[in-house]
Structure 1
């Protein structure tokens, strides 16, 4: 099954997995229209109960995403803040690349990084939940050399994901982080030969999709909710009977799927999820 959300963003359904493919040659650079198209694909993932997991990858073996389409912006005479933030003609409700500000996206997304992820392309990766990377691929944040900052998620997230001094060096120098280093810092789950990347990403997505739909979404919800809380606060609030503002988690606790999962374990059979 194949459904073109837009020419630049293609989607393919694989059972409970929705594959989202960036297809704007030569570099998959992100302009406002592409941001909105990526958001539309992710919105389909979020809203369609048939899907549990998403994968984002680029076409080919050279570039995952080169980030913000600076040539288009330069051709427009610079950054027009009103246009960038316009709800209809700007990047849309998901923010840059359709994902960096899609805060209510509760279904897990795997980044399958098939090549260079530069600037905003790296920020797409940072917005995903699990990252697999081709062993020849790399990350970089060259915004300092463009007179701007990587404020679509990198400056906000990266210092909390790797040692802050390493993140700061990347911001200041724009230098390349290869797959081996990214794996060492824990940014990447695994680096694999590019020929194996799609298969391994799909295998992981299918494995994740075996989980109960509500529980998969509840996990992202509670992790987001606990961000900034102390362990003591998290333990007090995120528990059955706790007062966490996590409606999916609260629904999950007393769901039919929770009963089914326990019953299936006791009966030594695979669970049959209903998503409710």
Structure 2
């Protein structure tokens, strides 16, 4: 392939995305003596290398699901929750059943993603999933049962809400009480299992949306910015205005305001 009659900008347009580049074009780019063309080649090769690394990472995140499938156990649901640490708002869990071999670029623990990327992936997960469901434990349930039990209760609600019954559940962290389905708890599973990662994203996006709605009711606290976590802004508002109905009365900073 001869590129000598093309300008660097024309070659850039022809090159397109790394996935579309043929081996012949890559060889022609490499053999071209122009520095601008060599830059195009290096950029394409870096992007190709990054894409391959991402493909391998996503393949590793399917090891748990593939092992279960190899033993004839499917479908598999991933479960995770969001909102253990905040001073306000509910704890939200999600359960997701992904099709076999699902590859969603950038799928990862929700905490490692930007809010914008979580929103995009949440939409892709909902379109791709065989089934997904959300479970919520209220502020009252958190106060009555403690955050650990309330989180597990939200997870149970999420699994029971699935339209497709899972043969096995992969859960982030702890076993879910009263769940009759076989389950495997995985420490830091949201970074190790694609199904759990998908659930962590749905749970986080759902909870963030709820906190945005609460901001409309109680704008003085800034819930749309900190989502109920104990940021300096939130603690200052809590000291100034006192707790509102969605604050967690059992949490120390909230208790201190109630005892004033």
Which bin holds the TM-score, normalised by the shorter protein? under 0.3
Q: TM-score, normalised on structure 1? A: 0.23
More strand by share: 1
Where relative contact order (Cα < 8 A, 6+ residues apart) is larger, the structure is 2
* Structure number with bigger Rg: 2
More helix by share: 2
Q: TM-score, normalised on structure 2? A: 0.24
